[in-house]
């Protein structure tokens, strides 16, 4: 059957002489792989079509879907959102690539999760539109909220009685745990603040220095790796730190 769905491109590799295989996080079916034929041909009809499938591209698609197959086919595709800055601004593009790599490490099963799709879609749009402070804080916000959408939301909030965030248990506690995976003091307080934000524009009011952002982002990646099997190492982490500096 043919289905209409939005999709966000995560990865694309060459297939044969003229085609590609693209991995897309879709609104209807979760993560899926598609063969797209002929987009790398040097002809008038194919010129520019490969650009639709660069990582972070947001598409409206008509797709053939068969649950018994690992590779699906795309019938039609067009932009669902055209970036104004992300593809041309080095900082925003680096943040977008961090978001995409984080998804590559986190999404293991082809399960539909519309709320997660909307989180990714909104995050990339806000990255395209927001100011520099929002751009710098967005990786922190997205990593925390990705964990929530994947089923391991932080429990509790920072307070004088619960000043420690146990990353292994995913909760704010009164005492430091025996293991090394925790945040305390200002880092726990900032995390509580970020986890409680309801709107992206609130990120513009949080001023953090380079060192604090680095510590927090490293801790949030550790948090994901403690809850996602075979999470692996993020290659874009160091690049992101250099660019945001």
Based on the fold, state whether residues 236 and 122 are members of the same structural domain.
yes
Based on the fold, state whether residues 68 and 116 are members of the same structural domain.
no
Share of the chain above pLDDT 70, in %: 98
Based on the fold, state whether residues 226 and 203 are members of the same structural domain.
yes
Q: Rounded to whole angstroms, how far apart are CA atoms 223 and 228?
A: 9
14 CB-contact burial (10 Å; exposed 0-12 / middle 13-18 / buried 19+): exposed
Based on the fold, state whether residues 48 and 99 are members of the same structural domain.
no
Q: Rounded to whole angstroms, how far apart are CA atoms 108 and 142?
A: 18
- The chain-wide mean pLDDT, for the chain, equals 93
Q: Structurally, how many domains does the chain consist of? A: 2
Please state the rounded mean pLDDT for residues 25-49. 83
Per the listing, tokens 């043919």 go with 2
**CATH of residue 21:** 2.40.50.140
Which residues, in sequence order, are bridge partners of residue 229? Answer: none
Token pair listed for 57: 């591209």
Based on the fold, state whether residues 51 and 107 are members of the same structural domain.
no
pLDDT band per the 50, 70, 90 thresholds, residue 46 = low
What domain range includes position 151?
A: 84-245
Based on the fold, state whether residues 93 and 153 are members of the same structural domain.
yes
Q: Which pLDDT value is given to residue 47? A: 58
Quick: pLDDT tens for 184-221.
999 999 999 999 998 999 999 999 999 999 999 999 99
Q: Is the pLDDT of residue 45 over 70?
A: no
Q: What is the DSSP letter of 92?
A: H
Share of the chain above pLDDT 90, in %: 84
Based on the fold, state whether residues 60 and 37 are members of the same structural domain.
yes
Written as one string, the DSSP assignment of 127-174 is HHHS-HHHHHHHHHHHHHHHHHHTT---BS---SS--EEETTTTEEES
Q: Which pLDDT value is given to residue 43? A: 64
For residue 31, count other CB atoms closer than 10 A to its CB: 21
Token pair listed for 76: 């039609």
pLDDT band per the 50, 70, 90 thresholds, residue 44 = low
Please state the rounded mean pLDDT for residues 69-79. 93
Which residues, in sequence order, are bridge partners of residue 19? Answer: 15
Q: Which pLDDT value is given to residue 41? A: 73
Looking only at the bridges linking them, the beta strands covering 171-173 and 58-64 are: unpaired
Based on the fold, state whether residues 187 and 216 are members of the same structural domain.
yes
Q: Where are the beta strands (DSSP E) in the chain?
A: 2-15, 19-26, 30-36, 58-64, 71-81, 164-166, 171-173, 182-184
Quick: pLDDT tens for 80-118.
999 999 999 999 999 999 999 999 999 988 889 999 999
Q: How far is CA 214 from each of CA 11, 93, 144, 200, rounded to the nearest angstrom?
A: 26, 18, 14, 20
pLDDT band per the 50, 70, 90 thresholds, residue 40 = confident
Per DSSP, the three-state class of 239 is: helix
pTM of the model: 0.92
Based on the fold, state whether residues 93 and 63 are members of the same structural domain.
no
Question: Could you tell me the strand order of the sheet in which 171-173 lies?
Answer: 171-173, 164-166, 182-184
């Amino acid at each position: 059957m043919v289905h209409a769905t939005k999709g966000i491109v995560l990865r694309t590799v060459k297939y044969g002489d003229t085609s590609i295989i693209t991995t897309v996080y879709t609104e209807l079916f979760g993560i899926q792989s598609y063969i797209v034929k002929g987009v790398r041909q040097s002809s008038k009809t194919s010129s520019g079509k490969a650009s639709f499938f660069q990582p972070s591209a947001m598409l409206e698609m008509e797709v053939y879907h068969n649950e018994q197959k690992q590779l699906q086919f795309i019938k039609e595709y067009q932009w669902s959102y055209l970036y104004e800055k992300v593809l041309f601004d080095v900082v925003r593009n680096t943040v977008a690539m961090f978001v995409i790599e984080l998804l590559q490490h986190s999404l293991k099963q082809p399960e539909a999760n519309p709320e997660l799709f909307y989180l990714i879609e909104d995050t990339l749009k806000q990255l395209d539109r927001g100011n520099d402070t929002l751009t710098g804080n967005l990786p922190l916000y997205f990593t925390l909220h990705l964990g929530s959408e994947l089923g391991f939301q932080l429990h509790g909030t920072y307070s004088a009685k619960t000043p420690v965030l146990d990353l292994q248990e995913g909760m704010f506690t009164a005492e430091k745990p025996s293991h090394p995976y925790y945040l305390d003091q200002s880092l726990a307080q900032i995390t509580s603040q970020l986890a409680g934000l309801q709107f992206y524009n609130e990120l513009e009011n949080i001023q953090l220095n380079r060192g604090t952002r680095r510590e927090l982002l490293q801790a949030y990646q550790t948090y994901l790796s403690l809850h996602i099997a075979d999470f692996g190492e993020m290659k874009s982490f160091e690049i992101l730190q250099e660019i945001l500096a």
